């Protein structure tokens, strides 16, 4: 018998009413025959059990009532009702009702439908499938046994049968797949992921498209820009240069670049831990933009010294005084490696890091300046409300990425999830760096006051290109994230537990909650925690909100000084509430506000929450008076 190809589809309201009537009738028949109930008792029980599960249909997220169609002929061949629940052995899918129409029986449709139910349940992270079969249904008993179900319990007139549908880490595998699929559908992820334990890949995959102009799907071999995840490779290059005796961690920058007298006292160690005080080039990025626009070229990394001299940016503080994230510091580290090794930085990484690690699909390069040197490139894609998706170079975001494409050290390593897996193994097997060298990199930098250097809200400190944290159960965890217009990357190494997680995303988050939710959920899964479901702003927005007081929110508001992002005004448009904001460059833009609580609103493109009070507006923990 040929395998049947079937598909599930949701029932219409009319189909559900027909299904309900017949399902209750047939279940009542089973109760009369299997448990000797009277007709009145049987129908009463059948109706009560049906309503217990489906009284609120279709608002029943864990109840699935579907029609079964033949994908080739289009014939409707039956129905199925199943639910997700907690069983004694773990999470399970329970088959409540199942019918293949008589004219389609004994043709393979039943086994195909069971397999599809199990596939979906596995993808959603469930471990078991369960059902009951009546003693007066020998054909059903034979079918379920053939499909791998075993009798677990017996009661009056029926048997409980179960089947394990996941093995070992299969639950994690399918949970990762579900999270990625959900995030993609909610416009929070377009990329690849890989999770491994003890050197074995548990889950890997791809969802979405290679670039905005085509329908070519991403694959596990798609190549992504790493953004700031690059910094760990720069730090590795620095450690190798130190091993070679090219310079020391406590050598001052001015020993090799004496003209940078304004930053005297800053050492290689300071640069690695973002404690040098050297300002970030994004503070005066127009220097790069002007060269790009006026001279028609993209500055190279060897011009970073000229940038510092010409812009005359003041230090954030004396070396070791403050932690202040500086991409410029990593540009200078790449410059030092190149200058003192006599080898282009790109080549140094290739010869000393990527090749020893077996990372054959990884390179440091400049696709906006020199063109794309490889196939299967996941082009960074940005979004705007009016025009949809665009390649970063073809959008207003071009000025945020193209002028910097000649730099090195802080960004511009391109790789795949499989090569990042190789990098994790290479570190563990000491193919590039010794464990002692890695231990030094995984130690938080120190400020002059003895405190750890690092972000206030991430980990316990910043080492050499890694954010450091310790988990009570899993031990040492080192990580880094990366972001550019259209790029979001995350890499976690659970060092003591021998686990790793990498996610590479090449499309700007249309819904920031879904995007950030995906990153948090996948990390929770890697840490053996229950992941939160992926939600979009539409999921949490109040349906049919009371808008009677919305007009009172409209108007201009005062705003904090020296903020990169300010709310300038609130207004109504087409019956919805909108905000006008001003970014750090002085450009204004509008976005819709979604009601998520009493007088509380959220934004689709970001995580900001706005709360309206009596004559005031609160956001970013600051309250602004209405003017």
Rounded average pLDDT over 400-413: 93
Can you list the alpha helix ranges (DSSP code H) found in 468-620? 512-526, 537-540, 550-553
Residues 24, 99: Cα–Cα separation, whole Å = 13
C-alpha span between 237 and 413 (Å, rounded): 13
Q: 304-309 long-range contacts, Cβ below 8 Å, gap at least 24?
A: 304/328, 304/331, 304/332, 304/335, 304/407, 305/257, 305/259, 305/260, 305/332, 305/335, 307/281, 308/260, 308/262, 308/263, 308/278, 309/259, 309/260
CA distances from 147 to 46, 70, 112, 118, 138 (A): 27, 20, 10, 11, 14
**Which residues have C-beta within 8 Å of that of residue 10, sequence separation ≥ 6?**
58, 65, 66, 67
140 and 277 in a single domain? The answer is no
Residue-level pLDDT at 170: 63
Q: How many domains does the chain have?
A: 3
Can you tell me the mean pLDDT for 408-431? Answer: 98
pLDDT above 90: percentage of residues in the chain: 68
Is residue 464 within 8 Å of 267, Cβ to Cβ? no
The model's confidence at residue 381, banded by pLDDT at 50, 70 and 90, is: confident
Burial of 79: CB neighbours in 10 Å, binned 0-12, 13-18, 19+: buried
Please determine, for residue 89, whether its predicted confidence score (pLDDT) is greater than 90: no
Residues 326 and 437 reside in one and the same domain: yes
Average pLDDT over residues 270-274: 99
**Predicted pLDDT of residue 172:** 86
- Residue 27 near residue 46, CB atoms below 8 Å: yes
> What percent of the chain shows pLDDT beyond 70?
95
pLDDT average, residue stretch 389-400: 68
Q: End of a domain among 476, 493, 511?
A: 476
406 neighbors 323 (Cβ within 8 angstroms): no
The tens digit of pLDDT for each residue in 574-614 reads 999 998 887 666 677 788 999 999 899 988 877 778 899 98
471 and 573, same structural domain?
Answer: no
Q: Would 191 be classed as within a structural domain?
A: no
Which range, of 198-202, 326-330, 420-424, averages the lowest pLDDT?
198-202
Q: Flag whether pLDDT at 187 surpasses 60.
A: yes
Q: Are residues 419 and 547 in the same domain?
A: no
Q: What mean pLDDT is predicted for residues 92-97?
A: 95
Q: Poorest-confidence range of 139-143, 185-189, 274-278, 392-396? A: 392-396
Helix H or strand E segment including 336: helix 327-341
Q: Are residues 105 and 20 part of one domain?
A: yes
- Phi and psi based region of residue 208 (left: phi greater than 0; alpha: psi -120 to 50; beta: remaining): left
> How does residue 565 score in pLDDT terms, banded at 50, 70 and 90?
low
pLDDT over threshold 80, residue 256 = yes
What integer pLDDT is reported at residue 1 of this predicted model? 44
158 by DSSP, 3-state: which? strand
| Residue 83 confidence (pLDDT) | 95
Return the half-sphere exposure (C-beta side, CA atoms, 13 A cut-off) of residue 393.
14
Inside any domain, residue 491: no
pLDDT the model gives residue 213 = 77
Contact 564, 584 (CB under 8 A): yes
* Range 231-238 average pLDDT: 99
Give pLDDT tens digits for 139-150.
999 999 988 899
pLDDT of residue 517: 94
Give the up-direction half-sphere exposure of residue 191: CA atoms within 13 A in the CB hemisphere: 34
Does one domain contain both 15 and 84?
yes
Asked whether residue 260 falls in the same domain as residue 409, the answer is yes
Quick one: pLDDT at residue 585? 63
- Domain assignment present for 306: yes
pLDDT at residue 90 in the model: 81
Residue 207 counted as domain residue = no
Lowest mean pLDDT among 274-283, 342-351, 603-612: 603-612
Choosing from 476, 495, 525, the residue where a domain stops is 476
Residues contacting 538, CB < 8 A, separation 6+: 511, 594
Instruction: Please write the tens of the pLDDT for every residue from 458-492.
Output: 779 999 999 999 999 899 999 999 999 889 999 99
Residue 106 parent element (H or E): none
162-171, 403-412, 465-474, 544-553: the lowest-pLDDT one: 162-171
Domain assignment present for 498: no
378 three-state secondary structure: coil
Q: Would you say the C-alpha torsion 591, 592, 594, 600 has a positive or negative sign?
A: positive
State residue 304's pLDDT score.
96
CATH code, 559:
2.40.128
Distance (Å, whole) CA 442 – CA 438: 6
Dihedral sign (CA 137, 142, 146, 148):
positive
Same domain, 405 and 319: yes
Inter-residue contact 394 to 382 (CB < 8 Å) = no
Same domain for 323 and 468, yes or no, is: yes
Q: Give the pLDDT score at 8.
A: 94
Domain that holds residue 420: 222-476
Q: Residue 200, CB half-sphere, CA atoms under 13 Å: how many?
A: 7
Active-site annotation holds for 111: no
Statement: residue 355 has pLDDT above 80: yes
Strands 128-134 and 91-100: parallel
Which of these is catalytic: 228, 341, 395, 506? 228
pLDDT at 356: 98
Both 340 and 458 in a single domain? yes
pLDDT at 10 (0 to 100): 92
Q: How confident is the model at residue 389 (pLDDT cuts 50, 70, 90)?
A: low
> What does the alpha-carbon distance between residue 539 and residue 424 come to, in Å, rounded to a whole number?
36
- Stretch 494-505: mean pLDDT, rounded? 96
Residue 327 is part of a domain; what is its CATH number? 3.40.710.10
Question: Where do the H-state alpha helices sit in 55-169?
Answer: 109-123, 138-146
* Same domain for 575 and 469: no
Render pLDDT for 287-324 as a digit per residue (tens, 0 to 9).
999 999 999 999 999 999 999 999 988 999 999 999 99
């Amino acid at each position: 018998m040929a395998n049947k190809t079937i598909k599930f589809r949701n029932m219409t309201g009319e189909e559900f009413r027909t299904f309900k009537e017949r399902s209750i009738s047939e279940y009542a028949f089973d109760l009369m025959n299997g448990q000797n109930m009277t007709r009145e008792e049987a129908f009463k029980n059948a109706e009560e059990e049906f309503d217990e599960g489906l009284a609120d249909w279709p608002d029943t997220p864990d109840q699935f009532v579907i029609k079964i169609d033949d994908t080739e002929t289009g014939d409707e061949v039956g129905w199925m009702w199943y639910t997700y629940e907690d069983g004694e052995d773990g999470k399970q899918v329970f088959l409540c009702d199942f019918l293949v129409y008589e004219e389609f029986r004994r043709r393979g449709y039943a086994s195909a439908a069971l397999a599809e139910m199990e596939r979906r349940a596995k993808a959603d992270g469930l471990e078991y499938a369960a059902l009951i079969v009546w003693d007066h249904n020998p054909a059903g008993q034979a079918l379920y046994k053939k499909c791998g179900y075993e009798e677990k319990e017996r009661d009056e007139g029926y048997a409980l049968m179960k089947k394990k549908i996941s093995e070992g880490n299969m639950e994690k595998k399918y949970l990762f797949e579900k999270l990625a699929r959900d995030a993609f559908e909610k416009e929070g992820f377009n990329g690849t992921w890989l999770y491994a334990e003890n050197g074995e890949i548990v889950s890997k995959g791809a969802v979405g498209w290679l670039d905005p102009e085509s329908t070519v799907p991403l694959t596990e071999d798609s190549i992504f820009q790493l953004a700031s995840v690059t910094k760990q490779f720069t730090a590795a290059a620095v450690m190798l240069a130190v091993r070679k005796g090219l310079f020391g961690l406590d050598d001052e920058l001015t020993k090799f670049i004496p003209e940078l007298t304004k930053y005297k006292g800053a050492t290689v160690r300071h640069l690695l831990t973002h404690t040098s005080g050297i300002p970030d080039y994004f503070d005066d990025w127009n220097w790069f933009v002007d060269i790009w626009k006026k001279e028609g070229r993209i500055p190279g990394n060897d011009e970073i010294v000229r940038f510092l001299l010409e812009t005359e940016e003041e230090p954030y503080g004396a070396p070791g005084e403050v932690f202040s994230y500086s991409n410029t510091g990593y540009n200078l580290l790449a410059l030092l490696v190149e200058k003192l090794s006599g080898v282009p930085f790109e080549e140094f990484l290739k010869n000393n890091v990527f090749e020893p690690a077996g990372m054959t699909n990884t390179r440091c390069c400049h696709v906006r300046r020199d063109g794309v040197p490889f196939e299967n490139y996941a082009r960074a894609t940005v979004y705007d409300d009016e025009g949809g998706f665009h390649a970063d170079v073809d959008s207003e975001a071009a000025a945020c990425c193209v002028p910097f494409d000649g730099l090195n050290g802080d960004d511009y390593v391109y790789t795949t999830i499989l090569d990042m897996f190789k990098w994790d193994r290479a570190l563990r097997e000491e193919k590039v760096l010794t464990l002692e060298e890695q231990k030094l990199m995984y130690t938080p930098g120190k400020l002059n006051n003895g405190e750890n250097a690092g972000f206030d809200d991430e980990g316990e400190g910043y080492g050499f290109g890694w954010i450091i944290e310790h988990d009570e159960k899993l031990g040492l965890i080192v990580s880094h994230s990366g972001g550019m217009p259209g790029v979001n990357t995350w890499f976690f190494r659970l060092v003591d537990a021998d686990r790793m997680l990498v996610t590479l995303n090449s499309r700007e988050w249309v819904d920031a909650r879904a995007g950030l939710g995906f990153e948090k959920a996948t990390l929770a899964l890697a840490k053996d925690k229950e992941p939160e479901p992926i939600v979009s702003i539409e999921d949490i927005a109040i349906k049919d909100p009371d808008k009677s007081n919305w007009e009172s929110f409209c108007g201009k508001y005062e705003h904090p000084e020296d903020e990169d992002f300010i709310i300038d005004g609130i207004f109504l448009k087409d019956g919805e509430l909108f905000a006008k904001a001003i970014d750090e460059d002085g450009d204004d833009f509008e976005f819709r506000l979604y009601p998520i609580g009493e007088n509380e609103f959220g934004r689709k493109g970001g995580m900001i929450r706005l709360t309206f009070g009596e004559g005031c507006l609160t956001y970013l923990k600051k309250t602004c008076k209405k003017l």
